[in-house]
Amino acid sequence: MKYLWLHITTIINTYNGETPLAHFLKNYYKQNPKLGSRDRKILNEMCYSWYRCSKAFDITVFEEKIKACIKYTNNGLLSDNLNHIFKDIPDNNNTIEFNLLFPNAIEFSEGITKIDWLKSMLVQPSLFIRIRKDKEQLFQLLEKATIPYRFIKDNCFALPNGAKIDELLPPENYVVQDASSQQTGNFFKPQKNELWYDCCAGAGGKSLLLKDLEPGVRLTISDKRESIIYNLKQRFKLYKHIQPVAHLTDAANEKTLNTALKGKLFDSIICDAPCSGSGTFARTPEQLFFFDVNSLKEYTDKQKAISINVSKYLKPGGRIIYITCSVFKCENEDVISYLCKTTNLKLIKMQLINGISEKADSMFIAILQN
């Protein structure tokens, strides 16, 4: 274990949160090729346990703090990789202080409490898939490979995080999509031949969900990242959907947005706005560890700008479907309140989709009508 302690100390002292932890670790292992597969798995679990809850312990000795983190994450259940090393962690009555884990005085959206959100940080969320077709075939393949699965609702299923399904399941038959993200589709209600616009399309999860619900929708998408648009088009090709009209533009920039859309009006606009991602912190706990409360102002300003800009491209009676993966009130209800006061938009419905009980992300959704 001595060399593993050396590596975990180096990783914790070097990593600064500027890149995703998964990417940092991948590069670290490339630079240290003598670390075997089991070593990497152990270091991964130690790292993620550290970033989940190390701030919640008033312990000065590094090794003792790591052990406390491992004890409290995933309900104290040790994986096979860690069990032989840490099975004899002494019960030294270290108390987890959640107020140290997230001391910021931030209001949470209705439908979730701060303490429940913080407790969810200790548990790795599941991997979720949305089944598109041939459900029984997928079940048989999962069972043959002895991969456990859990039915959530409709075509949503939960698998163990890290389940190796890429080469097992036919890729056109399913989409990897969080359970709460899948639930946003319940609010879409698309009709054939309607004009829809996904203004912050990202990887295309909401666009693909929309097209699976109603293939006859005529879709326009935009994003400010060319590589993201390319990946989205490849996914549309995989799932045999008609390619959307795509614009490389920043919806927060009124001038470039107008140049792209040229006054086109839409029946509905999906605004999956950039946000803190606080509803997904359990999946990427380094974001909780390095969270800067000052970043919220930048996010809320951008959310308001994007929503106001795209609202000008709604038909009379058209809808904006505002979505974030945040649990913070300032990014959710407060933005909606601002939009209702400064535009002609009227709130129809809003809801926080709390995914904690299903080991899923949490998301906010609001329907606004022109």
For the stretch 32-49, pLDDT in tens is 999 999 899 889 999 999
Residues 170, 192 within the same domain: no
Contact in structure between 231 and 203 (CB atoms under 8 Å): yes
Helix residue ranges per DSSP H, the chain: 2-14, 21-31, 37-53, 62-72, 80-86, 98-101, 114-120, 135-144, 179-183, 205-213, 226-238, 254-261, 286-289, 295-311, 333-342
Nearest to 85 by CA among 45, 37, 35, 125: 45
Residues 170, 183 within the same domain: no
Residues 6+ apart with CB under 8 A from 32: 7
Residues 136, 65 within the same domain: no
Domain containing 149: what range?
A: 127-176
Percent residues over pLDDT 70 in the chain: 94
The count of domains in the chain is 3
Two tokens at 142? 């999962």
- Residue 114 lies inside a defined structural domain of this protein: no
Residues 237, 354 within the same domain: yes
Residues 233, 363 within the same domain: yes
Q: What residue type is 340 in one-letter code? A: C
Residues 131, 164 within the same domain: yes
Residues 195 and 217: their CA atoms lie apart, in Å, by: 6
**DSSP letters of 301-352?**
HHHHHHHHHHHTTEEEEEEEEEEES--BGGGTHHHHHHHHHHSS-EEEEEEE
- Residue 112 lies inside a defined structural domain of this protein: no
Domain boundary pick from 151, 176, 201: 176
Residues 205, 342 within the same domain: yes
What 3-state class would DSSP assign to 176?
strand
**DSSP letters of 36-80?**
-HHHHHHHHHHHHHHHHHGGG----SHHHHHHHHHHHGGGGPPPH
Q: Mean pLDDT score of the chain, rounded to an integer?
A: 93
Residues 233, 336 within the same domain: yes
pTM, whole model, 2 decimals? 0.92
- Residue 230 lies inside a defined structural domain of this protein: yes
Residues 187, 288 within the same domain: yes
Residues 164, 189 within the same domain: no
Provide the edge-to-edge strand list for the sheet that holds 346-353. Answer: 245-248, 218-223, 195-198, 266-272, 314-324, 363-369, 346-353
pLDDT digits (tens, 9 = 90+) for 307-354: 999 999 999 999 999 999 999 999 999 999 999 999 999 999 999 999
Residues 160, 11 within the same domain: no
Contact in structure between 303 and 231 (CB atoms under 8 Å): no
Residue 85 has pLDDT above 80, yes or no: no
pLDDT of residue 262: 92
Query: Cα angle at 277 between 271 and 281, to 5 degrees?
Result: 150
pLDDT of residue 92: 54
Residues 90 and 88: their CA atoms lie apart, in Å, by: 6
- Residue 37 lies inside a defined structural domain of this protein: yes
- Residue 197 lies inside a defined structural domain of this protein: yes
Residues 216, 168 within the same domain: no
- Residue 115 lies inside a defined structural domain of this protein: no
pLDDT of residue 167: 86
- Residue 108 lies inside a defined structural domain of this protein: no
- Residue 110 lies inside a defined structural domain of this protein: no
Contact in structure between 168 and 159 (CB atoms under 8 Å): no
Which single residue is written with the structure tokens 């491992």? Answer: 70
